[in-house]
Amino acid sequence: MSVPGLLDHQRQAVDWIRSKKRGLLGDPPGLGKTRVAIEAFDAPDKRVLVVAPALVLTGGTWSDELARWAQYPESFTTAPYSMLNARNGSSPNFGTKKNPKYRLRDEYKGHWDAVVVDEAHYTKGRKTSWTWAVQQLAKNSEYFLEMTGTPVPNWAHEIFTLLQAVFPERAKPGADLGSYWRWVQRWFVVLPNFQARSEHAKQIGGLLACSDECKQLPAWDPCEHYLEFVDANLGDRFLRRRREDCLDLPEVTTQTVQTPMGRDQKRIYKEFKQDFLAEVDGQEVITWTTGARSVALDRVTVSDWLVQDPETRSAIPRGGKFDQLRLDLESRDRPTVVFAHYRDTVEACAAVARDLGAKVGVVHGGVGRAKSGEVVKSFKRGEIDVLVGSLETMAEGLQLTEADVLIMVEVSYKPSRNEQARMRVDRMGQTRPVTVREYITPGTVDERKRALLEQKTDEQLRLMSARDFAEII
C-alpha cells in the first residue's frame, strides 16, 4: 500500500518491519528511521513502547515526529533507558532468575504489540540494567524493532546483546546465542589478556577471517568478512541502506580551517609533548583517549587559554581556535551548531558566543537531562542562536536541521561519532546547503590524528602503543 509522504526507501522499510516482525534497522542517521517506526505501528488498537536515550526524548525528537505523523499518538508510550527499571531490594545477584537486582517498572510490564528500541547500541553492555530490561521487553512483544545508525560502535562482538533481543529463541541455553563466550570463540580471535589480574582473563580481537588489509578499511566501509559475519548472524533481520542511494539532500561543503598556534601556545605544546614522551616511553600500551597527557595536548591545540591558571587568565577565552570561532560567529545571522569533544572546551566556546551577544544554549554531560532537552527544544523554536554541545552527548538521535552551519572545534577519537555529529544537520528535513567547518591546528596531534581517523575504525583506535602515539604528536 502506498503511504502518502513516505519516500521509497521508507516504504520499503515499513514493509520489511511488518513482514519480519523482529529486526535491526541499521540505516545511517538522517534517513528517517523514526518516521518509519511510527508508520509501521501507528494504529488505534496497538500498544507501542518506544525506548530511547533521555536526551532524544527530552529534546523532542519523538514527540515532534509523533505530533507530525501519527494518527494515533496515544498508542505510543516513550521511556528513557534509565527509567525502565526499579531496584528490587539489595541483592548483589543481578540478572539471576530467582532474585534479580532490578525489575521492570510496573508501567512497562505485560504484553506490548510492538517495542521500538531507538539508538539500540545503548544495549551493547551485557550487564547493564537497561540491556536486561530490553531483553525482557523483547520476549513479551509481537513486534520488536531495534534502530541504530551504528550497530557496532566500538567492537564487533558488542552486537551480541542486540542479536539476543532480536532472536530470543536463539538465546536459550544450548542455542547459538545462548553462551556469549561460545559465540565469541566461533567468530573472533581470542587471546590471553596478560595485563589483567586474573590468569584466566581473555582479550577479544578481530574477526577470525579478517586479514591485515581488512584492518585498513574505514568504519563506514566494512570488509567482506564483516558483511559475511553480519549476514550469518542477522540474515534478513538486518536492513541497512546507504544515504546516497536514498536521499537527494542539499549540497554539503566541508571546509578545513587552519588555526595556527601562537608563540605561547607553541611553547606550552612543546613542553607537554616532551613530558608525555618522557613519561610513557617504554610502556607497552596506553589508552590514549583518556590518558592525562594526551588530553593536555588536545587542550593546548585548541588554545593555551584552557591550560592557564583560572585565577589569572582572561575572563573571555582567547587565542587559537577561540579567535577563529569569534570571527565565524560574528558573521552569522542564522542558527549555528558548535561541537567540541571536551566539556571545558564546550563551556569556553559558549562564553565566546555570549560575549558576542548571541543567545546561547549549552548541552554536555554535566547539564542534566531535563535542562538539556529544554535547550534543544529552544533551539528548534528559534529562541537560541548558537547551540554548543559535546560530541558524546549530542552526536546521536537529535534533529538540528534549523542550522545550516556546523562548526567542529574538536573531533572525537571515534570516527563513527564524528560522522554521526555531522548528520545532526545534514539529514532529511534540511532545506538549505550545509557547511561544515572543521578547525585544525597544523603541526600538532590535532592535524595528524585527522589522517589517522580517516584510516582507522573505532575498534582500532581504542588502544594504541606509546610508540604509535609518539609518531602523531
**Number of domain units in the chain:** 2
Residue 371: pLDDT over 70: yes
| 60, 195: one domain | yes
Residue 165: pLDDT over 80: yes
Q: Which of 217, 245, 273 represents a domain boundary (last residue)?
A: 245
Q: Is residue 254 part of a domain?
A: yes
User: Mean per-residue pLDDT for 171-186?
Assistant: 94
Q: In the block, which residue shows the cell 541497512?
A: 240
Q: Is residue 356 part of a domain?
A: yes
| 297, 313: one domain | yes
Q: Which of 189, 210, 245 represents a domain boundary (last residue)?
A: 245
Q: From CA 125, how far away is CA 160, in angstroms rounded?
A: 9
Whole-number pLDDT of residue 412: 85
Q: Is residue 1 part of a domain?
A: no
Pairwise pLDDT comparison (227 vs 99), residue with the higher score = 227
| 211, 262: one domain | no
Contact by Cβ (8 Å): 419, 254: no
| 67, 166: one domain | yes
pLDDT-derived band of residue 101, with 50, 70 and 90 as boundaries?
confident
| 237, 255: one domain | no
Cα→Cα distances 31→101, 162, 227, 300, 330, Å: 38, 21, 21, 37, 33
| 442, 318: one domain | yes
The answer to pTM > 0.75 is yes
Q: From CA 190, how far away is CA 156, in angstroms rounded?
A: 13
Domain range for 58: 8-245
Q: What single letter denotes the amino acid at residue 307?
A: V
Contact by Cβ (8 Å): 448, 424: no
Q: Which tens digits make up the pLDDT trace of 387-417?
A: 999 998 998 888 999 999 999 999 987 777 8
| 279, 241: one domain | no
pLDDT-derived band of residue 2, with 50, 70 and 90 as boundaries?
very low
Q: Is residue 3 part of a domain?
A: no
Q: Which tens digits make up the pLDDT trace of 188-215?
A: 888 876 555 555 567 787 788 776 666 6
pLDDT-derived band of residue 351, with 50, 70 and 90 as boundaries?
very high
Whole-number pLDDT of residue 23: 96
Q: Is residue 18 part of a domain?
A: yes
| 179, 48: one domain | yes
| 270, 156: one domain | no
Q: Is residue 212 part of a domain?
A: yes
Q: Which tens digits make up the pLDDT trace of 260-271?
A: 999 999 999 988
Instruction: Give the list of residues 6+ apart from residue 144 with CB closer than 8 angstroms, or none.
Output: 21, 22, 23, 114, 115, 117, 137, 138, 165, 166
| 226, 270: one domain | no
Q: Is residue 2 part of a domain?
A: no
Q: Which tens digits make up the pLDDT trace of 78-99?
A: 999 999 998 776 544 444 454 4
Instruction: Give the list of residues 6+ apart from residue 427 with CB closer than 8 angstroms, or none.
Output: 29, 30, 31, 249, 399, 401
**CA of residue 234 relative to chain centroid, distance:** 22
User: Mean per-residue pLDDT for 275-303?
Assistant: 59
Query: Which three cell numbers, joined as nine digits, stand for 422?
Result: 555531522
Quick check: helix, strand or coil at residue 203?
strand
Rounded (to 5) percent helix, strand, coil in the chain: 45, 15, 40
Whole-number pLDDT of residue 153: 64
| 104, 150: one domain | yes
Residue 123: pLDDT over 50: yes
| 311, 163: one domain | no
CATH number of the domain encompassing residue 55:
3.40.50.10810
Residue 286: pLDDT over 70: no
Q: Is residue 208 part of a domain?
A: yes
Q: Which of 245, 272, 300 represents a domain boundary (last residue)?
A: 245
CATH number of the domain encompassing residue 377:
3.40.50.300
Whole-number pLDDT of residue 147: 97
User: Mean per-residue pLDDT for 176-193?
Assistant: 89
Q: What percent of the chain has pLDDT over 70?
A: 83
Q: From CA 243, how far away is CA 5, in angstroms rounded?
A: 18
Whole-number pLDDT of residue 358: 97
Q: In the block, which residue shows the cell 588536545?
A: 298
